[in-house]
Amino acid sequence: DQQVKQNSPSLSVQEGRISILNCDYTNSMFDYFLWYKKYPAEGPTFLISISSIKDKNEDGRFTVFLNKSAKHLSLHIVPSQPGDSAVYFCAASETNDYKLSFGAGTTVTVRA
Amino acid sequence: SAVISQKPSRDICQRGTSLTIQCQVDSQVTMMFWYRQQPGQSLTLIATANQGSEATYESGFVIDKFPISRPNLTFSTLTVSNMSPEDSSIYLCSVRQGRTEAFFGQGTRLTVV
pLDDT band at B37 (very low <50, low <70, confident <90, very high): very high
pLDDT score recorded for residue A85: 97
Angstroms from B42 CA to nearest CA on chain A: 4
Strand order in the sheet with A62-67: A4-5, A19-25, A72-77, A62-67, A56-59
- Rounded Cα distance between A78 and A112, Å, is 15
Nearest CA in chain B to A90: B42
Of B33, B45, B104, which is closest to A44 when you measure between CB atoms?
A: B104
Average pLDDT, integer, range A9-27? 97
Which of chain A's residues have a Cβ under 8 Å away from the Cβ of B43? 44, 89, 100, 102
Around A79, how many Cα atoms within 13 Å sit in the side-chain half-sphere?
Answer: 8
pLDDT in tens, B72-99: 999 999 999 999 999 999 999 999 887 7
How many other C-beta atoms lie within 10 A of the C-beta of residue A90?
Answer: 27
- Rounded Cα distance between B87 and B96, Å, is 25
pLDDT band at A98 (very low <50, low <70, confident <90, very high): confident
pLDDT score recorded for residue B97: 80
On the question of pLDDT at B32 being above 90, the answer is yes
Of A46, A89, A99, which is closest to B101 when you measure between CB atoms?
A: A46
Q: CB under 8 Å, gap of 24 or more: what pairs does A47-52 form?
A: A47/A75, A47/A88, A48/A75, A49/B100, A49/B101
- Read off the DSSP letter of residue B58: P
pLDDT band at A43 (very low <50, low <70, confident <90, very high): very high
How many other C-beta atoms lie within 10 A of the C-beta of residue A14?
Answer: 12
Average pLDDT, integer, range A87-94? 96
Q: What is the tally of helices (H) and strands (E) in chain B? A: 0, 11
Q: Which residues contact B27 (CB under 8 A, 6 or more apart)?
A: B2, B74
Contact assignment for B99 to A44 by CB distance below 8 Å: no
Phi, psi of B90 (to 5 degrees): -100, 130
Closest CA to B70 of B89, B43, B48: B48
Which of chain B's residues have a Cβ under 8 Å away from the Cβ of A91? 102
Strands (E), B38-106: 43-49, 56-57, 68-72, 75-80, 89-96, 102-104
Q: How many residues are present in chain A?
A: 112
Residues B105 and B29 sit within 8 Å (Cβ to Cβ): no
